[in-house]
Structure 1
Amino acid sequence: MIVLAQQGDTVDALCWRHYGRTDGTVEAVLEANAGLADLGVILPIDTPVFLPELASVNTSTPLLQLFD
């Protein structure tokens, strides 16, 4: 999917809006978009950004239960 950056957008903000998380997604988006990091932290308005399809994240760490 290709999205256009809005005013004040960063790569991590785009990832958060599209994927709902930033862990590993920012790196994947930067790898899929050669030269995107060279544009700076704040992306220029209407910069096309390809958001690749990502596999779901599986955690091997057990979750801590506060109350049993």
Structure 2
Amino acid sequence: MSEKGCIKCGSTETGTKDVAMTGTGLSKMFDIQNNQFLVVFCKNCGYSEFYNKKASTGSNILDLFFG
């Protein structure tokens, strides 16, 4: 049985951050940050994955990150 962890380094230590980004067109021109994401990152090597906050819950995202 193989252990699960970061796909880059194998570590199981993670962190999360909420980030917001502008889109294109008018939202970029007026700096309207209407795209919100949850970032799951490896605390060892820094590998990160972005998840749309509207798509799923935090626990499901951690499951996706570790497989």
| TM-score, length of structure 2 as denominator length | 0.23
More strand by share: 2
More helix by share: 1
Task: Considering Cα pairs closer than 8 Å and 6+ residues apart, tell me whether 1 or 2 has the greater RCO.
Answer: 1
